[in-house]
Structure 1
Amino acid sequence: MQRPLIAVLLASAFTLYANAAQAADLIQVYQQALANDATYASARNSLTAGQERIAQGRSLLLPQVSLSGTHMKNNGDMTPVNEGATTVVDGQPTFITRRDTDNSQNVYTLQLSQPLFRWANWQQYQQSKLAQAQAEAQFAQAQQDLIVRVAQAYFDVLTAQDNLASIQAQKSATTEQLASAKRNFEVGTQTITDTHEAQAAYDLVVAQEFAAINDLEVRRTALQQIIGTAPASLATLRTGVTIAPPQPATIEPWISSAEQQNYGVAVQQLAVEIAKREIERNRAGHMPTVDLVAQSQRQSQTAYGVTKNNAIGVQWTVPIFSGFQITSRVRETIALEEKARNDLEATKRSAAQNARQAYLGVNSGLAQVRALEAAEVSSKSALESNKLGYQVGVRINIDVLNAQRQLYSTQRDLAKARYDTIMNGLRLKAAAGTLKEADLAPVNALLTNG
């Protein structure tokens, strides 16, 4: 019994170790965000609530059935005006006296009302369909926002990791230079100035390392806020990846798509339509209403027995004067419709600007990546030359340190430029309203677990 248990525990430990060693890629992190992000869950609940709007609007056009009733018990007496007088009842003289009037009454009413003409209800039903479409557009926008937020948080962590790795590489190189400067000073081949310069560079990089460690923790916490758990190690960008330029290659189709298909624009377009319907709904306050009414009533009284009554007919109402309330509401909704139109125009301009900015960001990012790739090659050559010159005495220690710093800085900037270019590509599709979960697959293919 003990051996299988031990085997299970060992297998579980091995599985946990293997999972920990396997870096999570962008799609895996996105799947975690789908399940755990509170903002996305809130948007999903809003969609569920919005999908009930049509049923609520339709209910205003359907029959309304109600059952009501009363139960009354009367307790009293009746005193005749001629109390004490004598009258003849069945041939016998009888005194006229006070008598009790106790009785009970039960009334049950079943009523059906079917709207025949209620213009306000019809407009509200049309508004409910627009409101449901608006909730769906808002949820689609929340899906796009989640993709962008997850990718941004993911690459922010990679950027912080690259920055820390660059600083730690500088620290390692500076440590070697400091040790070399101290040895050369001890044997008299270099001055104390070289040692001081190396020490200053070492102290600076140590301070930068503390800041980089803190920044990495902040970025990991930001990602944790989205996915709900502490992020595992992340797959990194492969060396020398090629980032595809945007297709189509011209900016006009992207701007046109942003002005027409952006989900924020769609939400505002629906808001304008809802505002139009609101004007008509308020104007309906001047119109008559017509309902078909059917009623069945049963009334029972102790003194009179049971009475039943069935009725069916048409009930109508014509509004005459409401203290100018309806006119005021119409003016209010006209102003709100104009506001919705202005909000729509502002949203279109913002979407177009976001598309333009992202498009230019992708293209400038691609140019920057090419320039930094060339700078990386030059920086490597410069470092090798400075190391050789230092060995033969034509370069000093600070020259090597500067060359190392330049190379690591270039490599860090190159990685950051690639991340920014990828993010601008995602933002461009989001602005155009075409960003989907499938768009993460090409980005994920640029990552490696190695």
Structure 2
Amino acid sequence: MGAAHADSSMRHPRLLLGAALTPLLLMQGAHAYTLEQFWHQAFSHDPRIQVYRRQLEVASTAQPLALAALLPQITAGANVQFATEYTQEPYNSVQPDTALLEENSRTRTESWSVQLQQALFNWSALQDYQASGDQVAAAAATYQEAMQNLENQATAAYVQWLLADANVRSLQEAEQGFARQALTAKARYQAGTTGILGADEAQVALRQIQAQLADARAQWQVARQKLQQFTGTPAPDRAPTLPQKIRLSWSTLTLWKAAATQHNPALAAANDQLAAAQKSVSAAWGGFLPSISLVLAHQWQSQHGTLGYRLGSLSADNLPNPYRNTESSAMVELSWSIFSGGSQQATLHKARYQQEENFQLLLATERSVEKQLGADFADLNGARQQSALYRRALLVARHASAAAEDGVRVGLVTENNAIIDRQNVLTVRNALNSANAAVVTHYASLAATAGVLTPTRIRQLSVALSPLRESSHESSPIKS
């Protein structure tokens, strides 16, 4: 009974310590600077985002401008005119010596008019409007491509920051290990159990690690500044730990190609531009066709004033002189360009040339996307294989290093062998970090090429890079 009570009391401090550390660990995880948080900051503060948005807004005005040619055109005008007139001429022009007729008038004329013109048939304007829709779609695809390229760049910058921080941590741990080994080797040399060569080799290895650590810290500062270019704010002092195994949905190259066919923004933009060019050719043909419009007009005019005259002894002043006129008309107008000096033929040739150019651009884009997909997929597979091999090699290297340290203590292994084994651990660990960083970078590049590097994909990458990863977030690249 007493033993059981003692055992229970011994376990209570561990439980209390675990309960105390759990909120701290959760707090650290909650405040970890994840990839998703970094991208949200970049999306809110990177000036390039605003540039891409403005470009899309400007391109989107093409469709309303083209639609205006098909909508009713209403014009209105108003006029007020003041006039004073005085004339003097012979009353009888055949006999110039007769009495003179003098006339004077003061008038105010008011008028207004309204005209409505509606296109009944205008093939060129109709095709231009349909082409403008394709142009806006191409602009939207270009905006999406720019956004995904920026997401890819941001992901690469974030992963490089994780890699730089992981290398610093590895070198700091190695520095501590080499420092202990150098101190132990010096103590054994002073005790006469080893030679001066082993102690010196340990010191040389320690200085080399310290030099590498200084370079790694400089690289970490560079990576940290790179993050600040995206967000405008300094990155945290410490980065989350780079996982030793990246869990993502890999899929096959065939699925990635299928995703690119549906979602790649460069392909979508090229297809939309080709469709717009085809409609532009049809619009150019419309220049040889007549255009028919309906014109409705209404005009109102009113004149007020006085009239006076003088002829010999006869005279009159301030006689009213009113005038009013109202006119309405409806007209169907047909306009047909019979000869325009060859401008229509030149417009048609230019449209055909643009169509052929856009077709060749589409073929080149398809080949470029297919080539990039193959290269990204090969790089991703290579990085995955390297990561798996380095994980196994790290286990072996750690076991060999531990065995070498034990061998040094009993005099079976030299200090030089222990140094080599410890350096192998560091080399393999850094190589594993680089391979894992390459896995994420190539995966993001592959997703961007396929056109599926969406915010959902960024979140999946963020979860894969988090200390607590959930396999439930893995999905097919096409569904994302």
**Corresponding residue for residue 152 of structure 1:** 156
Give the counterpart of 2:286 among 254, 277, 284: 284
Trace 1:344-383 onto structure 2 (pairs within 5 A).
Answer: 344-383=362-401
Contact 1:259/1:352, CA 8 A, preserved across alignment: no
Give the counterpart of 1:230 among 234, 242, 245: 234
Trace 1:259-298 onto structure 2 (pairs within 5 A).
Answer: 259-298=261-300
Give the counterpart of 1:337 among 355, 367, 386: 355
TM-score, length-scaled by structure 2: 0.79
Trace 1:168-207 onto structure 2 (pairs within 5 A).
Answer: 168-187=172-191, 189-207=193-211
Deviations 1:161-209 (A, max 9, x none): 0111122223223333333444445555555544544443333333322
Contact 2:228/2:235, CA 8 A, preserved across alignment: yes
Report the residue type matching 1:416 in the other structure.
S
**Corresponding residue for residue 429 of structure 1:** 447
Q: Secondary structure at the residue paired with 2:337?
A: coil
Contact 2:90/2:101, CA 8 A, preserved across alignment: no
Deviations 1:402-449 (A, max 9, x none): 322221121122122123223323333332233433234443333445
**Corresponding residue for residue 32 of structure 1:** 41
Q: CA 1:449/1:434 → structure 2, altered by over 3 Å: closer, same or farther?
A: closer
Trace 1:75-94 onto structure 2 (pairs within 5 A).
Answer: 75-80=84-89
Contact 2:246/2:465, CA 8 A, preserved across alignment: no
Q: CA 1:284/1:254 → structure 2, altered by over 3 Å: closer, same or farther?
A: same
How many Å separate the matches in 2 of 1:273 and 1:311? 41
How many Å separate the matches in 2 of 1:81 and 1:403? 129
**Corresponding residue for residue 136 of structure 1:** 140
Q: Secondary structure at the residue paired with 2:267?
A: helix
Give the counterpart of 1:61 among 46, 63, 70: 70
Contact 1:53/1:131, CA 8 A, preserved across alignment: yes
Q: CA 1:19/1:246 → structure 2, altered by over 3 Å: closer, same or farther?
A: closer
Q: CA 1:29/1:166 → structure 2, altered by over 3 Å: closer, same or farther?
A: same
**Corresponding residue for residue 302 of structure 2:** 300
How many Å separate the matches in 2 of 1:184 and 1:304? 128
How many Å separate the matches in 2 of 1:76 and 1:221? 82
Deviations 1:122-174 (A, max 9, x none): 01110122123223323433443344333222211110101111222232233
How many Å separate the matches in 1 of 2:276 and 2:461? 39
Task: Note the residue ranges of structure 1 that are not aligned, 5 or more in a row.
Answer: 1-14, 88-93
Report the residue type matching 1:166 in the other structure.
S
Q: Secondary structure at the residue paired with 1:434?
A: coil
Identity of aligned residues (%): 23
Give the counterpart of 2:408 among 380, 390, 395: 390
Q: CA 1:33/1:242 → structure 2, altered by over 3 Å: closer, same or farther?
A: closer
**Corresponding residue for residue 107 of structure 1:** 111
Corresponding position: 1:212 with 2:221 = no
Report the residue type matching 2:373 in the other structure.
A
Deviations 1:10-45 (A, max 9, x none): xxxxx9xx6898212222323333333333343344
Q: Secondary structure at the residue paired with 1:148?
A: helix
Contact 2:246/2:436, CA 8 A, preserved across alignment: no
**Corresponding residue for residue 419 of structure 1:** 437
Contact 2:85/2:104, CA 8 A, preserved across alignment: yes
**Corresponding residue for residue 307 of structure 2:** none
Query: Cα RMSD (Å) of the superposition?
Result: 3.2
Corresponding position: 1:221 with 2:259 = no
Q: CA 1:117/1:188 → structure 2, altered by over 3 Å: closer, same or farther?
A: same
Q: CA 1:84/1:439 → structure 2, altered by over 3 Å: closer, same or farther?
A: closer
Displacement of 1:335: 1.3
How many Å separate the matches in 2 of 1:446 and 1:293? 66
Structure index of larger Rg: 2
**Corresponding residue for residue 463 of structure 2:** 445
Displacement of 1:329: 2.0
Deviations 1:188-238 (A, max 9, x none): 555554454444333333332232222212212222322343233543344
How many Å separate the matches in 1 of 2:385 and 2:40? 32
Report the residue type matching 1:286 in the other structure.
F
Report the residue type matching 1:179 in the other structure.
L
Q: Number of matched residues?
A: 427
How many Å separate the matches in 2 of 1:402 and 1:81? 129
How many Å separate the matches in 2 of 1:200 and 1:75? 110
Deviations 1:274-324 (A, max 9, x none): 111122222322222211001111223345622221111012221122221
Q: Secondary structure at the residue paired with 1:356?
A: helix
How many Å separate the matches in 2 of 1:326 and 1:169? 76
Contact 2:88/2:100, CA 8 A, preserved across alignment: no
Report the residue type matching 1:431 in the other structure.
T
Contact 2:175/2:209, CA 8 A, preserved across alignment: yes
Q: Secondary structure at the residue paired with 1:161?
A: helix
Report the residue type matching 2:327 in the other structure.
N
Task: Note the residue ranges of structure 2 that are not aligned, 5 or more in a row.
Answer: 1-23, 305-320, 469-480
Contact 2:124/2:286, CA 8 A, preserved across alignment: yes
